[in-house]
Every structure is written in structure tokens, then in C-alpha cells.
């Protein structure tokens, strides 16, 4: 089972500020799609719109051809990591995953599987309030993997990871894509995605600047880093 993430013509305003201005791209299965742009480019807003958390004023966002809020047991279609700090400090990591599992009709067995996979098993029964940012990112990845979804969407998953964690995250994302999953990863630093993204969507000011495969971008600009700098020049101004 594969599910493509398709975003088409998204518009979104927050008051006078235009957050999304015709955002359109597709994240195909079987590859890591880098979602790259400066802070404020609309990456997080796009992801929130895909999850049905924010309402777009125009356009559509589909996961495997369906609106996310229409999905039955949505975490089994799309796993997302939006904010690793969104944890109740007085609840253990394991119980955090357990309520999510229960919400999808899954059991504790699945919780222990994903904890094992992310190396969180030993600390999972401790209160989440004591977790480092790296542990929270790993717990967030566990939550995204809980429903064994064919598509994953991760917002800045490298934040707060130590070098060892960055290496682990890269190999995990590469493996997940190799299994045929759709993996959409946002970052404001091109370097983090350098070796793993097969497909890159550069965004700025709420719209796509360029979407292409890694190979064609490398051929054109010499490296993804160079492509990033060239394409996002002047787009980084804070709004």
C-alpha cells in the first residue's frame, strides 16, 4: 500500500499575513521528499493544513487521495511529527503512545514495537517532562510510526538531535523510504537532507520556488546546498 501526499493550490492567511500563497507539490512514495525553505516559508502551516488542524482558505491537501480528516484511523495512513514538545510532562512516553494507540484501535504491543525501533524502550516509563529534546524527537518518531503508516510527515525532525542522533535519523528516514513509504521531511537547513532526499521542494513566502529530483538539481546547481542558496535568496526576510 502506498499513499502519495498531494498539495494543490493552498491559500491561507493569518490576518493580514499571507502564510500560504498557492502552495502546490506532490510527495511521492518510495523516496524522501525534502521540504526546504527559510523560517516562515509556510512549511509548518502546510503540514498543519494537511492534517486538518488549520483550515486553508483555498486549495486541497490529500493523503492517498483523501482529505486527512475523512480518513478512518488516520494514524494508520499518515504518521506525523509536528511538535516534539507537545507532551504532557506528567505522563510517561509509553502512556503517551498508549492513548494514541487506543485512539486508533491499536494495542500496547504496537506501542512496545515502535519504542523498540526508536531506542526509547528503556526510558519510556519515565515521565516525559524529564526527556531531552533528542528523546522527545525519538518519541515523536515513535508516535508517527505507531500506525505503521505508508506515509510520514516530519517537521524539523533533526532539531535537538546530537550528531549520533542525526546519523540515526538519516538512516531511519532512508530505510522508511526504501520500504516504499512516502516520507515528507521539512527542514530549514539543507545540509541535514543532503544525502537522503531523493526529491526536494524548495519553498518561500508560502509558495513553491522549485520542486525537482535531487539529480536534476545537482546537475543544475552543482549541489543541493548551492541550489538552496540560489533559490531562496531574498526569501528569508522575516515577516
Residues that bind another protein (CB under 8 A): 48, 51-55, 68-69, 71, 74-75, 80, 82-83, 85-92, 95-96, 98-100, 102-105, 127, 143
CB of 147 to another protein, least distance (A): 9
Q: How many CB atoms within 10 Å of residue 26?
A: 16
CB of 46 to another protein, least distance (A): 13
In which residue are the cell numbers 527542514 written?
A: 187
Nearest Cα neighbor of 227 from 213, 238, 237 is 213
Report the half-sphere exposure of 202 (CA within 13 A, side-chain side): 20
- Judged by CB, which is closer to another protein: 31, or 182? 182
- Judged by CB, which is closer to another protein: 96, or 170? 96
Rounded Cα distance between 118 and 108, Å, is 16
CB of 163 to another protein, least distance (A): 27
Rounded Cα distance between 212 and 201, Å, is 7
- Judged by CB, which is closer to another protein: 19, or 217? 19
Rounded Cα distance between 140 and 83, Å, is 8
CB of 233 to another protein, least distance (A): 31
Chain centroid, CA 44 distance in Å: 9
- Judged by CB, which is closer to another protein: 150, or 214? 150
CB of 190 to another protein, least distance (A): 27
Q: Is 83 helix (H, G, I), strand (E, B) or coil?
A: coil
Q: What is the longest distance spanned by two Cα atoms in the chain?
A: 51
- Judged by CB, which is closer to another protein: 53, or 219? 53
Amino acid at each position: 500500500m502506498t499513499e502519495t501526499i498531494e498539495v494543490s493550490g493552498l491559500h491561507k492567511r493569518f490576518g493580514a499575513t499571507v502564510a500560504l500563497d498557492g502552495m502546490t507539490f506532490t510527495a511521492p512514495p518510495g523516496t524522501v521528499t525534502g521540504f526546504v525553505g527559510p523560517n516562515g516559508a509556510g512549511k509548518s502551516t502546510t503540514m498543519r493544513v494537511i492534517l486538518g488542524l488549520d483550515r486553508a482558505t483555498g486549495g486541497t491537501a490529500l493523503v492517498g487521495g483523501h482529505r486527512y480528516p475523512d480518513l478512518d484511523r488516520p494514524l494508520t495512513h499518515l504518521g506525523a511529527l509536528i511538535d516534539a514538545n507537545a507532551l504532557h510532562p506528567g505522563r510517561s512516553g509509553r502512556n503517551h503512545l498508549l492513548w494514541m494507540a487506543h485512539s486508533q484501535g491499536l494495542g500496547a504491543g504496537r506501542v512496545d514495537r515502535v519504542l523498540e525501533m526508536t531506542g526509547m524502550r528503556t526510558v519510556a516509563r519515565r515521565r516525559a517532562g524529564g526527556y531531552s529534546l533528542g528523546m522527545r524527537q525519538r518519541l515523536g518518531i515513535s508516535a508517527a510510526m505507531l500506525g505503521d503508516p505508508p506515509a510520514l510527515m516530519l517537521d524539523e525532525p533533526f532539531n535537538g538531535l546530537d550528531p549520533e542522533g542525526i546519523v540515526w535519523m538519516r538512516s531511519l528516514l532512508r530505510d522508511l523510504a526504501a520500504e516504499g513509504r512516502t516520507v515528507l521531511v521539512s527542514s530549514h537547513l539543507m545540509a541535514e537532507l543532503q544525502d537522503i532526499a531523493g526529491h526536494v521542494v524548495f519553498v518561500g513566502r508560502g509558495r513553491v520556488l522549485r520542486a525537482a529530483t535531487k539529480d536534476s538539481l545537482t546537475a543544475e546547481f552543482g549541489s543541493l546546498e548551492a541550489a538552496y542558496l540560489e533559490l531562496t535568496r531574498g526569501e528569508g526576510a522575516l515577516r
